[in-house]
Amino acid sequence: MFKNSQFFKSSKLLAFIIYLFYSVAAYGQSEDKLVLAIRENDHQFWQAYNSCDISKMISFLTEDLEFYHDKSGLTQGLSNFKKSLESNLCGNGAYLERTPVKESIAIYPLGKSRAIISGAHNFSIEGKMVESAKFTHVWVFENNQWKMSRVLSFDHQTVQFKSANTAIFLSEEALQSFVGEFQAPQTGKVTFGKSEGKLKMNAGPMELLLSPMKSNMFFHEQSSLTFEFLENGKKVVIRENGKVVEEAIRSN
């Protein structure tokens, strides 16, 4: 008799609503903690990346790591990925600094022990942005620690460099005084020739067109390289981002 009463039906409905509310709330709290954990671990990983702390970086990665890159393809296994970091990212002295595009970052829980984080980020060298890309990372909770097991890095776009220098006119006679062969300690043979009001530099496979910016200084419009000729054209000082990277002495 009581089962058919309105009071009994209302009580059952109320109990179900309360149960549902607390179940959802409990799941929401768990999900919030998971999202916070992924966000914090992601932050620590990229801190290690920006300081080239390889030991710290690999502590966030699983042994069976799969790293997919749209330029270099697939790298399998933690040991192979570590070698790649040592020889590429942290092996040339010009460290890339990663900055997230904050509004693009999204975290998606996959149950209670897995999650996906995805978004976009930019990369800079000495404060100048050189590349943008997108990423998707799969995090797993194992041995009481969150680690990345799958890393996808794609849609890499090189940022077109725009030089702040302004080209000036130099006569053919003035340009001729810089033409010749030079020898540099690291680069080896460097030659300069004329090309339509500019200098053409060749060093091994590298060929650059250099525009005059002063009577004795030239710049490359697609990079931060500058070339300053000193001692009446007997020496050239090569700078990148204002820092000396090479000096060459005339050999002919």
Encode pLDDT of 200-246 as tens digits.
999 987 899 999 999 999 999 888 899 999 999 999 999 988 899 89
Look at residue 193 in the predicted model and tell me its pLDDT.
97
Percent of the chain with pLDDT over 90: 68
Structure tokens at 146: 């969150």
Average pLDDT over residues 57-66: 97
Instruction: For 145-188, write each residue's pLDDT tens digit.
Output: 999 999 999 999 988 777 889 999 999 999 999 999 999 998 89
% of the chain exceeding 70 in pLDDT: 86
Residue 84's pLDDT band (cuts 50, 70, 90): confident
Q: In whole numbers, what is the pLDDT of the chain averaged over residues?
A: 86
* Confidence at residue 14, expressed as pLDDT on a 0 to 100 scale: 41
Same topology for domains 2-158 and 172-250, yes or no? Answer: no
Residue spans of the domains in the chain: they are 2-158, 172-250
> Of 232, 226, 234, which is closest to residue 252 (Cα–Cα)?
234
Q: What is the CATH number of domain 172-250?
A: 2.40.128.50
Tens-digit pLDDT profile for residues 15-42: 443 343 333 333 333 679 999 999 999 9
SS3 annotation, the chain: CHHHCHHHHHHHHHHHHHHHHHHHHHHHHHHHHHHHHHHHHHHHHHHHHHCCCHHHHHCCEEEEEEEEECCCEEEECHHHHHHHHHHHHCCCCCCCEEEECHHHCEEEEECCCEEEEEEEEEEEECCEEEEEEEEEEEEEEECCEEEEEEEEEEEEEECCCCCCCCCCCCCHHHHHCCCEEEEECCCEEEEEEEECCEEEEEECCEEEEEEEEECCEEEECCCCEEEEEECCCCEEEEEECCEEEEEEEECC
**pLDDT higher for 116 or 95?**
116
pLDDT at 241: 81
Using 50, 70 and 90 to split pLDDT, how confident is the model at 108? very high
Of 155, 154, 152, nearest to 139 by C-alpha is 152
Looking at 3.10.450.50, 3.30.930.10, 3.40.1160.10, 3.40.640.10, the CATH number of the domain 2-158 comes to 3.10.450.50
pLDDT at 94: 58
